[in-house]
Amino acid sequence: MAPSTLTIDPPGLMDSRPTFSHVATSLGDNVRFICTAGQVGSDAQGNIPSDRTEQIQLALANLRRCIEAAGATVKDIQKLVYYIVDYDHTRRDHFLPLKAFLNGHRPATSLVPVPKLFKPGVIFEIEAYLAVPQRSPQNVDVVVVGAGLSGLSAAHQLQEAGFSCAVLEARNRVGGKTWSVDATDQGKFVDVGAAWINDTNQSEVFALTKALGLETVVQNTTGRVVQQDIDGKVSTFVYGDVPKALSEPGGAQNMLDIRNLTEEVCQKLDVHHPVRIGDDLDNMTLEGWIVSNGGGKTALASATVWTRAMLGMEPKDMSALFFLNYCKSGGGLMQMRSDLKNGGQYLRLVKGTQSLSIGLAEQLKPGSLSLDDPVRYIEQSPSGLHVYSAKGKHTCKRVIVSLPTPLYKDIVFSPALPQDKLELSQANKLGFINKVLVRYPSPWWREPGLTGMLQSFTGPVSVTRDSSVDPVGSYSLTCFVAGDAGRALSTLSKAERFKVVTEQIKATLGVAAKVNIPEPTGIEEHEWAHDLWAQGCPCPAAPPGTMTKYEHALRSSHGKVHFVGTETAYEWKGYMEGAIRSGKRGADEVIRALNLAKL
């Protein structure tokens, strides 16, 4: 029997152990009741703004996060209770933030002036009681958890094979980390998530692109790349070449040697059995491996550009084996990093990569897809396989979970995941990438002979690329703010972040172009690490020892529950290609099992 109440601790809130959870929700067929802990204006680190209004706004943002985590909305709030220190009925500084938060909804409410709250400095606390209506219990062959590219691909293949399928998505949109934003509503999409494909070795994603009739543009590689050295000095080199005059003596050659060694060693790996010949590589971090192979400051800075742009992490954060196998999954470091034909960044889509997900979703049978519907409990019991999501319960024959491994913790599995799979999910870490998209009225970098690409050994922007879509007159630079530099920048306000990014563009591309840079027409970003349903981007990485211990558990199913996601792909891990391939692999597993069960 399912438990009556599930507790949830949404990431991004202060640690609630050992005495409470931030959210409690009942499980039921008709209405779920949800209550939250009192939320205060504190970030995950316990920092509390001294300004009363800011603190109230942060408390409300935290409450919203709790509500979202439970698969509910502000409209589902039945009751609010808030506690105010130094309450003054002539001031009522909670009123405007609360009004904005509620946006017309009027739950039953109590206001409680109190002499103090749980910690000095806290002047506002708010708790909510909510109810979410439940559809009647559903029966399907397969439930797919997550409507990113892997989940949608699995569902599509399952329905093609004649199986009924429900896709439950936590977000209010499909696409997962394919998310194309059209801020100006003029068809000028920018990809705040996955952006590039190719038409040769990424056969699945290109086939889907063709099948959906989506228009592509070739990544601009004409001109010179701007190099920002470890001392901040700016130089340029022709795209495809390597920087030569760098400040560290011998640094340029050392960097080249490490790059070549990386390529050579990764090519020796068998993506189907990476651990067999790589046990030694899994004993050390990528940084340790580079240093032990004579890599100096410049070589390490160059590797940092790779890991930041590819995984949102530092070379110290991942096992050498993990990184090398990751490269190999995309055909090797050189191919994965390349913007040319056959490279990882060769083509983009005019309408953005989310159009792949939207296109797949539109091909699903009507009623298959449920948005705003996070799954929190999966039960395999004698009475069957049951999936409890925000809006109800599905009983099914198989489940496909398409979440990154570190997010398995957000679903309660009954029985629990096997130990190895559980430990794998705890060991793998998600990186930090914020792709800041700076939109310009024109591609001002081209006339002075630049590709729009920056490679910076100082940061905080590690890499930029020209992400213009010329046919629709959309011009932009994609700025990768990632890894430790990205996390540091993230502590600033949005306005401050954007200022730092545009200043760095001026100081690098601007200086090299020797032109006055026009003012941006707009800036988009998405901090995936703070996204409740991503918690990082693009793909988890494994610290030393993890692959040796748990690689065998990466794709293993748990009873009738199967696992997909781009990190589980053999080829093009972390890319959309890997997502689609993993989804099809999961669908194949399920189809085989269900067909076998028919015999």
User: What residue numbers does the annotated binding site for FAD cover?
Assistant: 150, 169-170, 375, 567
Nearest approach, Cβ of 69 to a second copy (angstroms)? 12
Residue 173 engages a second copy in binding (rule: CB under 8 A): no
Window contacting a second copy (CB under 8 A); options: 123-131, 198-206, 451-459, 471-479: 123-131
Q: Are 576 and 142 in contact (CB under 8 A)?
A: no
**β-bridge pairing 475-482 and 522-524:** unpaired
The helix/strand/coil state of 66 is helix
The helix/strand/coil state of 466 is strand
Residue in 91, 99, 233, 276 binding a second copy, rule: CB under 8 A: 99
Q: Does the N-terminal peptide bond of residue 460 adopt cis geometry, omega within 30 degrees of 0?
A: yes
Residue 372 engages a second copy in binding (rule: CB under 8 A): no
Residue 35 engages a second copy in binding (rule: CB under 8 A): yes
Report how far residue 250's alpha carbon sits from residue 430's, in angstroms, rounded to the nearest whole number. Answer: 34
Residue in 47, 51, 91, 119 binding a second copy, rule: CB under 8 A: 119
Q: Are 252 and 245 in contact (CB under 8 A)?
A: yes
Residue 36 engages a second copy in binding (rule: CB under 8 A): yes
Of 64 and 316, CB closest to a second copy? 64
Angle between helices 354-363 and 149-160 (to 10 degrees): 30
Residue in 11, 12, 14, 28 binding a second copy, rule: CB under 8 A: 28
Beta bridge partners of 429: 541
Q: Are 200 and 349 in contact (CB under 8 A)?
A: no
Residue 7 engages a second copy in binding (rule: CB under 8 A): yes
Residue in 21, 254, 370, 405 binding a second copy, rule: CB under 8 A: 21
Q: How far apart are the first and last CA of the chain?
A: 30
Of 33 and 239, CB closest to a second copy? 33
Window contacting a second copy (CB under 8 A); options: 111-119, 394-402, 403-411, 516-524: 111-119
Q: Are 348 and 191 in contact (CB under 8 A)?
A: yes
Residue 395 engages a second copy in binding (rule: CB under 8 A): no
The dihedral of CA 279, 585, 150, 164: what is its sign?
A: negative
Q: Are 534 and 176 in contact (CB under 8 A)?
A: yes
Window contacting a second copy (CB under 8 A); options: 72-80, 218-226, 320-328, 435-443: 72-80
Residue 64 engages a second copy in binding (rule: CB under 8 A): no
Residue 256 engages a second copy in binding (rule: CB under 8 A): no
Residue in 10, 25, 60, 315 binding a second copy, rule: CB under 8 A: 25
Residue in 46, 95, 139, 522 binding a second copy, rule: CB under 8 A: 95
Residue in 77, 309, 396, 403 binding a second copy, rule: CB under 8 A: 77
Residue 14 engages a second copy in binding (rule: CB under 8 A): no
Window contacting a second copy (CB under 8 A); options: 69-77, 169-177, 188-196, 509-517: 69-77
Please give the C-alpha separations between residue 226 and each of 223, 437, 465, 497, in angstroms, as whole numbers: 10, 18, 11, 21
Residue in 109, 247, 267, 283 binding a second copy, rule: CB under 8 A: 109
- SS3 of 511-545: HHHCCCCCCCCEEECCEHHHCCCCCCCCCCECCCC
Nearest approach, Cβ of 102 to a second copy (angstroms)? 6
User: What count of Cα atoms within 13 Å lies in the side-chain half-sphere of residue 558?
Assistant: 25
CB-based contacts of 197, cutoff 8 Å, min separation 6: 205, 206, 209, 216, 346, 347, 348, 349, 353, 575, 576, 577
Near a second copy in 38-57, by CB under 8 A? 38
Residue 166 engages a second copy in binding (rule: CB under 8 A): no
> In the stretch 132-151, what mask flags binding to a second copy with x, by CB under 8 A?
xx-x----------------
Residue 76 engages a second copy in binding (rule: CB under 8 A): yes
Near a second copy in 559-578, by CB under 8 A? none
Structure tokens at 508: 């690098």
Residue 111 engages a second copy in binding (rule: CB under 8 A): yes
Name the percent of the chain in helix, strand, coil, to the closest 5.
35, 25, 40
Residue identified by tokens 């070379």 is 315
The amino acid present at 521, given as its one-letter code, is T
Of 120 and 213, CB closest to a second copy? 120
Report how far residue 183's alpha carbon sits from residue 292's, in angstroms, rounded to the nearest whole number. Answer: 47
Of 33 and 498, CB closest to a second copy? 33
Of 67 and 479, CB closest to a second copy? 67
Residue in 59, 63, 69, 98 binding a second copy, rule: CB under 8 A: 98
What would the DSSP string read from start to end of 422-439?
HHHHHH-B---EEEEEEE
Residue 367 engages a second copy in binding (rule: CB under 8 A): no
Residue in 51, 91, 113, 280 binding a second copy, rule: CB under 8 A: 113
Structure tokens at 186: 């003029």
Rg (CA), the chain: 25
Residue 5 engages a second copy in binding (rule: CB under 8 A): yes
Of 17 and 514, CB closest to a second copy? 17
The helix/strand/coil state of 420 is helix
Residue in 10, 13, 37, 313 binding a second copy, rule: CB under 8 A: 37
Residue 24 engages a second copy in binding (rule: CB under 8 A): yes
Residue 115 engages a second copy in binding (rule: CB under 8 A): yes
User: What count of Cα atoms within 13 Å lies in the side-chain half-sphere of residue 242?
Assistant: 16
Nearest approach, Cβ of 135 to a second copy (angstroms)? 7
**β-bridge pairing 108-114 and 23-26:** unpaired
Comparing CA positions, the residue from 62, 10, 60, 66 lying closest to residue 34 is 66
Residue identified by tokens 């808030």 is 82
Which residues make up the interface to a second copy (CB under 8 A)? 1-5, 7, 16-38, 75-81, 83, 87, 89, 95, 98-99, 102, 104, 106-120, 125, 127, 129-133, 135
